[in-house]
Amino acid sequence: MLAAKAELKNAEKVKQFLIRKNLLHPDYLLTTEFGYIYFPLARKVNIPNAQVLNARFSFPARKKMPKAEDFLSGKLTAQELKLLPHSQEQVGKILIIEIPEGLEKKERVIAAAYLKANQQIETVVKKDEVHEGEYRLRKVKVLAGRNTKETIHRESGVLLKVHLEKAYFSARLVGERMRIAKQVKRGEEILVMFSGVGPYLLILAKHSPAARIYGIEMNPLAHQYALENIKLNNLPRKIVLYQGDVRKIVPQLGKRFDRIVMPLPKTGELFLDVALKAAKKDTIIHLYTFCRKEEIKQEGEKIKQMCKQWKRPVKLLRSVPGGQYAPYTFRVCFDLKVLN
Protein backbone atom coordinates (compact mmCIF):
# COMPACT_ATOMS: atom_id res chain seq x y z
CA MET A 1 0.00 0.00 0.00
CA LEU A 2 1.21 3.50 -0.84
CA ALA A 3 2.65 5.22 2.26
CA ALA A 4 4.59 8.27 3.44
CA LYS A 5 7.43 7.26 5.77
CA ALA A 6 8.69 9.94 8.14
CA GLU A 7 10.96 10.26 11.15
CA LEU A 8 8.96 10.66 14.37
CA LYS A 9 10.37 14.18 14.88
CA ASN A 10 8.74 15.21 11.55
CA ALA A 11 5.43 13.38 12.19
CA GLU A 12 3.32 16.46 13.03
CA LYS A 13 4.70 18.48 10.09
CA VAL A 14 4.04 15.66 7.63
CA LYS A 15 0.57 14.98 9.09
CA GLN A 16 -0.44 18.64 8.73
CA PHE A 17 0.81 18.66 5.12
CA LEU A 18 -1.17 15.50 4.31
CA ILE A 19 -4.35 16.86 5.94
CA ARG A 20 -4.02 20.19 4.13
CA LYS A 21 -3.56 18.52 0.74
CA ASN A 22 -6.20 15.88 1.48
CA LEU A 23 -3.70 13.07 0.84
CA LEU A 24 -4.47 10.69 3.74
CA HIS A 25 -6.20 7.45 2.71
CA PRO A 26 -9.69 7.63 4.29
CA ASP A 27 -9.98 3.87 5.00
CA TYR A 28 -6.77 3.24 6.98
CA LEU A 29 -5.03 4.45 10.15
CA LEU A 30 -1.37 5.47 10.44
CA THR A 31 1.09 3.09 12.07
CA THR A 32 4.66 3.10 13.47
CA GLU A 33 7.45 0.60 12.70
CA PHE A 34 11.09 0.61 13.87
CA GLY A 35 11.07 4.26 14.95
CA TYR A 36 9.37 5.58 11.80
CA ILE A 37 5.79 6.70 11.27
CA TYR A 38 3.89 5.56 8.18
CA PHE A 39 0.88 7.44 6.80
CA PRO A 40 -1.44 5.59 4.38
CA LEU A 41 -1.73 7.67 1.20
CA ALA A 42 -4.63 8.22 -1.15
CA ARG A 43 -2.34 9.09 -4.09
CA LYS A 44 1.31 9.47 -5.04
CA VAL A 45 2.93 12.92 -4.72
CA ASN A 46 6.18 14.34 -3.36
CA ILE A 47 5.91 15.07 0.35
CA PRO A 48 8.37 17.31 2.22
CA ASN A 49 10.18 15.55 5.10
CA ALA A 50 8.86 12.12 4.06
CA GLN A 51 9.69 9.28 1.70
CA VAL A 52 6.86 7.95 -0.48
CA LEU A 53 7.01 4.17 -0.90
CA ASN A 54 4.98 1.00 -1.21
CA ALA A 55 4.72 -0.41 2.34
CA ARG A 56 5.03 -4.21 2.56
CA PHE A 57 2.81 -4.45 5.66
CA SER A 58 -0.91 -3.72 5.86
CA PHE A 59 -2.32 -0.70 7.67
CA PRO A 60 -4.99 -1.08 10.38
CA ALA A 61 -8.39 -0.46 8.81
CA ARG A 62 -10.36 2.55 10.00
CA LYS A 63 -13.78 1.64 11.39
CA LYS A 64 -16.44 2.79 8.91
CA MET A 65 -18.33 5.63 10.56
CA PRO A 66 -22.10 5.66 10.09
CA LYS A 67 -23.56 8.71 8.35
CA ALA A 68 -26.46 10.84 9.58
CA GLU A 69 -28.34 9.75 6.45
CA ASP A 70 -28.18 6.13 7.70
CA PHE A 71 -30.38 7.10 10.66
CA LEU A 72 -32.79 9.20 8.61
CA SER A 73 -34.17 6.74 6.12
CA GLY A 74 -37.86 6.30 6.90
CA LYS A 75 -37.91 9.67 8.66
CA LEU A 76 -37.07 11.82 5.63
CA THR A 77 -38.22 11.22 2.05
CA ALA A 78 -35.58 10.52 -0.62
CA GLN A 79 -36.17 14.05 -1.88
CA GLU A 80 -35.63 15.53 1.60
CA LEU A 81 -32.45 13.48 2.10
CA LYS A 82 -31.01 15.05 -1.05
CA LEU A 83 -31.52 18.51 0.47
CA LEU A 84 -29.19 17.86 3.42
CA PRO A 85 -26.05 19.97 3.07
CA HIS A 86 -22.83 17.98 2.73
CA SER A 87 -20.54 20.16 4.81
CA GLN A 88 -20.93 20.93 8.50
CA GLU A 89 -18.54 22.68 10.84
CA GLN A 90 -17.36 20.87 13.96
CA VAL A 91 -16.12 23.11 16.76
CA GLY A 92 -14.88 21.04 19.69
CA LYS A 93 -17.75 18.79 20.70
CA ILE A 94 -20.38 20.88 18.93
CA LEU A 95 -21.54 20.22 15.38
CA ILE A 96 -22.94 23.25 13.54
CA ILE A 97 -25.41 22.33 10.82
CA GLU A 98 -27.56 24.23 8.39
CA ILE A 99 -31.20 23.24 8.08
CA PRO A 100 -32.28 23.69 4.47
CA GLU A 101 -35.46 25.59 3.71
CA GLY A 102 -38.48 23.33 3.88
CA LEU A 103 -36.96 20.96 6.47
CA GLU A 104 -37.40 23.21 9.52
CA LYS A 105 -40.18 21.01 10.91
CA LYS A 106 -37.79 18.03 10.95
CA GLU A 107 -34.78 19.91 12.34
CA ARG A 108 -34.70 18.02 15.65
CA VAL A 109 -34.94 14.62 13.95
CA ILE A 110 -32.10 15.61 11.61
CA ALA A 111 -29.96 16.91 14.49
CA ALA A 112 -30.53 13.71 16.50
CA ALA A 113 -29.29 11.68 13.51
CA TYR A 114 -26.07 13.73 13.31
CA LEU A 115 -25.56 13.25 17.04
CA LYS A 116 -26.00 9.48 16.73
CA ALA A 117 -23.66 9.28 13.74
CA ASN A 118 -20.75 11.17 15.25
CA GLN A 119 -19.29 9.79 18.48
CA GLN A 120 -17.05 12.84 18.94
CA ILE A 121 -19.86 15.32 19.36
CA GLU A 122 -22.13 16.03 22.31
CA THR A 123 -24.26 18.85 20.91
CA VAL A 124 -25.81 19.73 17.55
CA VAL A 125 -26.76 23.33 16.84
CA LYS A 126 -28.15 25.07 13.80
CA LYS A 127 -26.80 28.37 12.64
CA ASP A 128 -29.45 30.96 12.09
CA GLU A 129 -27.43 33.80 10.60
CA VAL A 130 -24.02 34.68 9.18
CA HIS A 131 -21.58 36.50 11.49
CA GLU A 132 -22.49 40.16 11.65
CA GLY A 133 -22.03 43.41 13.54
CA GLU A 134 -18.84 44.95 14.87
CA TYR A 135 -18.02 41.86 16.96
CA ARG A 136 -18.93 39.48 14.10
CA LEU A 137 -21.38 37.49 16.22
CA ARG A 138 -24.14 35.07 15.24
CA LYS A 139 -26.96 33.17 16.92
CA VAL A 140 -27.19 29.40 17.05
CA LYS A 141 -29.99 27.15 18.34
CA VAL A 142 -29.29 23.92 20.24
CA LEU A 143 -31.26 21.13 18.56
CA ALA A 144 -29.89 17.94 20.10
CA GLY A 145 -27.60 16.68 22.87
CA ARG A 146 -26.12 18.67 25.73
CA ASN A 147 -27.57 22.17 26.07
CA THR A 148 -24.39 24.22 25.69
CA LYS A 149 -22.86 26.69 23.27
CA GLU A 150 -19.39 26.55 24.81
CA THR A 151 -16.75 23.95 23.98
CA ILE A 152 -13.01 23.35 23.78
CA HIS A 153 -11.73 23.05 20.23
CA ARG A 154 -8.37 21.50 19.32
CA GLU A 155 -6.52 23.00 16.34
CA SER A 156 -2.98 21.99 15.31
CA GLY A 157 -2.04 21.03 18.85
CA VAL A 158 -3.59 24.13 20.43
CA LEU A 159 -6.68 24.18 22.70
CA LEU A 160 -9.26 26.93 22.24
CA LYS A 161 -12.19 27.50 24.56
CA VAL A 162 -14.93 29.12 22.50
CA HIS A 163 -18.55 30.18 22.90
CA LEU A 164 -20.46 30.11 19.64
CA GLU A 165 -22.49 33.24 20.41
CA LYS A 166 -20.26 35.36 22.63
CA ALA A 167 -17.26 35.61 20.30
CA TYR A 168 -16.31 34.89 16.69
CA PHE A 169 -14.53 31.65 15.91
CA SER A 170 -14.22 29.60 12.73
CA ALA A 171 -12.65 26.14 12.69
CA ARG A 172 -12.38 26.43 8.91
CA LEU A 173 -9.34 28.74 9.10
CA VAL A 174 -7.03 25.99 10.39
CA GLY A 175 -4.98 25.75 7.17
CA GLU A 176 -4.81 29.50 6.75
CA ARG A 177 -3.39 30.05 10.23
CA MET A 178 -0.66 27.46 9.63
CA ARG A 179 0.10 29.03 6.24
CA ILE A 180 0.95 32.28 7.98
CA ALA A 181 2.85 30.61 10.85
CA LYS A 182 5.11 28.94 8.29
CA GLN A 183 6.17 32.26 6.77
CA VAL A 184 7.41 33.72 10.08
CA LYS A 185 11.15 34.21 10.52
CA ARG A 186 13.04 33.84 13.79
CA GLY A 187 12.67 36.80 16.15
CA GLU A 188 9.75 38.51 14.39
CA GLU A 189 7.42 40.79 16.35
CA ILE A 190 3.90 40.25 15.08
CA LEU A 191 0.72 42.28 15.52
CA VAL A 192 -2.58 40.39 15.23
CA MET A 193 -5.31 43.02 14.92
CA PHE A 194 -8.83 41.72 15.70
CA SER A 195 -7.47 38.75 17.66
CA GLY A 196 -10.81 37.30 18.86
CA VAL A 197 -10.48 34.30 21.21
CA GLY A 198 -6.84 34.00 20.15
CA PRO A 199 -6.50 31.33 17.43
CA TYR A 200 -3.91 33.24 15.33
CA LEU A 201 -1.99 34.26 18.46
CA LEU A 202 -1.75 30.71 19.75
CA ILE A 203 -0.92 29.05 16.44
CA LEU A 204 1.80 31.65 15.81
CA ALA A 205 3.14 31.21 19.35
CA LYS A 206 3.18 27.43 19.07
CA HIS A 207 4.22 26.88 15.46
CA SER A 208 6.47 29.82 14.53
CA PRO A 209 9.81 31.17 15.73
CA ALA A 210 8.30 34.64 16.44
CA ALA A 211 9.78 36.52 19.40
CA ARG A 212 6.53 38.15 20.51
CA ILE A 213 2.95 38.36 19.32
CA TYR A 214 0.63 41.26 20.18
CA GLY A 215 -3.14 40.79 19.98
CA ILE A 216 -5.85 43.47 20.06
CA GLU A 217 -9.56 42.67 20.37
CA MET A 218 -12.50 44.98 20.99
CA ASN A 219 -15.13 42.43 22.16
CA PRO A 220 -14.51 42.13 25.94
CA LEU A 221 -15.87 38.57 26.04
CA ALA A 222 -13.63 37.42 23.18
CA HIS A 223 -10.71 39.06 24.98
CA GLN A 224 -11.56 37.12 28.18
CA TYR A 225 -11.62 33.86 26.24
CA ALA A 226 -8.25 34.73 24.66
CA LEU A 227 -6.72 35.34 28.11
CA GLU A 228 -8.08 31.99 29.26
CA ASN A 229 -6.83 30.24 26.12
CA ILE A 230 -3.31 31.57 26.61
CA LYS A 231 -3.32 30.04 30.12
CA LEU A 232 -4.90 26.83 28.85
CA ASN A 233 -1.99 26.37 26.46
CA ASN A 234 0.65 27.61 28.84
CA LEU A 235 1.90 30.13 26.27
CA PRO A 236 1.96 33.43 28.18
CA ARG A 237 5.60 34.33 27.54
CA LYS A 238 5.24 35.10 23.84
CA ILE A 239 1.80 36.76 23.77
CA VAL A 240 0.74 40.25 24.86
CA LEU A 241 -2.97 41.06 24.76
CA TYR A 242 -4.92 44.34 24.72
CA GLN A 243 -8.66 44.87 24.87
CA GLY A 244 -9.99 47.79 22.86
CA ASP A 245 -10.17 49.42 19.45
CA VAL A 246 -7.21 48.80 17.16
CA ARG A 247 -7.43 52.41 15.97
CA LYS A 248 -6.78 53.66 19.52
CA ILE A 249 -4.43 50.99 20.84
CA VAL A 250 -1.94 50.57 17.98
CA PRO A 251 -0.74 54.22 18.08
CA GLN A 252 -0.48 54.00 21.90
CA LEU A 253 1.89 51.02 21.61
CA GLY A 254 4.36 53.22 19.69
CA LYS A 255 5.86 50.10 18.08
CA ARG A 256 6.62 48.90 14.57
CA PHE A 257 6.06 45.27 13.68
CA ASP A 258 7.67 42.78 11.29
CA ARG A 259 4.31 41.24 10.41
CA ILE A 260 0.72 42.43 10.79
CA VAL A 261 -2.28 40.10 10.48
CA MET A 262 -5.65 41.73 9.72
CA PRO A 263 -8.38 39.06 9.92
CA LEU A 264 -11.45 41.30 9.58
CA PRO A 265 -12.89 40.68 6.12
CA LYS A 266 -15.37 43.31 4.86
CA THR A 267 -14.00 46.25 6.89
CA GLY A 268 -10.33 45.37 7.49
CA GLU A 269 -9.25 47.70 4.68
CA LEU A 270 -10.49 50.66 6.72
CA PHE A 271 -7.65 49.94 9.18
CA LEU A 272 -4.89 49.81 6.56
CA ASP A 273 -3.70 53.29 7.53
CA VAL A 274 -3.27 52.12 11.16
CA ALA A 275 -1.33 49.05 10.00
CA LEU A 276 0.89 51.05 7.65
CA LYS A 277 1.83 53.50 10.42
CA ALA A 278 2.92 50.51 12.56
CA ALA A 279 4.88 48.92 9.70
CA LYS A 280 8.61 49.03 8.93
CA LYS A 281 10.17 48.73 5.48
CA ASP A 282 9.71 45.06 4.49
CA THR A 283 6.88 44.41 6.99
CA ILE A 284 4.48 41.76 5.72
CA ILE A 285 0.76 42.51 6.04
CA HIS A 286 -1.87 39.78 5.70
CA LEU A 287 -5.13 41.55 4.87
CA TYR A 288 -8.37 39.56 4.56
CA THR A 289 -11.33 40.58 2.41
CA PHE A 290 -14.37 38.95 0.86
CA CYS A 291 -14.63 39.06 -2.91
CA ARG A 292 -15.66 37.11 -5.98
CA LYS A 293 -12.90 35.09 -7.65
CA GLU A 294 -13.04 37.23 -10.80
CA GLU A 295 -12.61 40.39 -8.69
CA ILE A 296 -9.42 39.32 -6.88
CA LYS A 297 -7.06 41.10 -9.29
CA GLN A 298 -9.07 44.30 -9.17
CA GLU A 299 -9.29 44.12 -5.37
CA GLY A 300 -5.49 43.68 -5.15
CA GLU A 301 -4.98 46.77 -7.32
CA LYS A 302 -7.39 48.73 -5.13
CA ILE A 303 -5.44 47.78 -1.98
CA LYS A 304 -2.12 48.72 -3.61
CA GLN A 305 -3.59 52.06 -4.61
CA MET A 306 -4.84 52.71 -1.05
CA CYS A 307 -1.36 52.03 0.37
CA LYS A 308 0.19 54.35 -2.21
CA GLN A 309 -2.19 57.10 -1.12
CA TRP A 310 -1.00 56.57 2.48
CA LYS A 311 2.56 57.04 1.09
CA ARG A 312 3.53 53.46 2.01
CA PRO A 313 3.56 51.59 -1.31
CA VAL A 314 3.34 47.81 -1.10
CA LYS A 315 4.17 44.87 -3.33
CA LEU A 316 1.39 42.32 -3.63
CA LEU A 317 3.19 39.03 -2.93
CA ARG A 318 0.20 36.77 -3.45
CA SER A 319 -3.55 36.57 -3.05
CA VAL A 320 -4.82 33.39 -1.42
CA PRO A 321 -8.49 32.47 -1.85
CA GLY A 322 -9.97 30.55 1.08
CA GLY A 323 -13.41 29.28 2.03
CA GLN A 324 -16.66 30.38 0.50
CA TYR A 325 -18.54 33.02 2.47
CA ALA A 326 -21.66 33.42 0.36
CA PRO A 327 -22.66 32.23 -3.12
CA TYR A 328 -19.72 33.12 -5.43
CA THR A 329 -18.01 35.13 -2.67
CA PHE A 330 -14.77 33.91 -1.06
CA ARG A 331 -12.51 34.93 1.76
CA VAL A 332 -9.23 36.08 0.23
CA CYS A 333 -5.98 36.91 2.01
CA PHE A 334 -3.73 39.48 0.35
CA ASP A 335 -0.09 39.09 1.46
CA LEU A 336 1.57 42.51 1.08
CA LYS A 337 5.16 43.67 1.55
CA VAL A 338 5.72 47.29 2.57
CA LEU A 339 8.29 48.80 0.20
CA ASN A 340 9.51 51.85 2.12
Q: Which residues bind ligand SAM (CB under 6 A)?
A: 134-136, 167-169, 173, 194-196, 199-200, 216-219, 222, 245-247, 263-264
Nearer to ligand SAM (CB atom), residue 30 or residue 160: 160
Least separation in angstroms between CB 196 and ligand SAM: 3
Nearer to ligand SAM (CB atom), residue 37 or residue 264: 264
Least separation in angstroms between CB 222 and ligand SAM: 5
Burial string for 102-115 (b: 16+ CB within 10 Å, else e) reads: ebeeebeebbbbbb
Nearer to ligand SAM (CB atom), residue 96 or residue 264: 264
- Contact of 160 with 199, CB cutoff 8 Å: yes
Largest distance between two CA atoms of the chain: 66
Nearer to ligand SAM (CB atom), residue 30 or residue 226: 226
- Contact of 278 with 256, CB cutoff 8 Å: yes
Nearer to ligand SAM (CB atom), residue 23 or residue 173: 173
Nearer to ligand SAM (CB atom), residue 68 or residue 222: 222
Bridge partners (DSSP) listed for residue 233:
none
Sign of CA dihedral 156, 147, 120, 136: negative
Residues 6 or more apart whose Cβ sits within 8 Å of residue 288: 262, 263, 264, 265, 268, 331, 332, 333, 334
Q: Which residue is nearest to ligand SAM (CB)?
A: 196
φ/ψ of residue 284, rounded to 5: -100, 130
Least separation in angstroms between CB 105 and ligand SAM: 33
Q: Helix, strand or coil for residue 21?
A: coil
Sign of CA dihedral 166, 170, 15, 186: negative
Least separation in angstroms between CB 182 and ligand SAM: 17
Least separation in angstroms between CB 191 and ligand SAM: 11
Least separation in angstroms between CB 226 and ligand SAM: 9
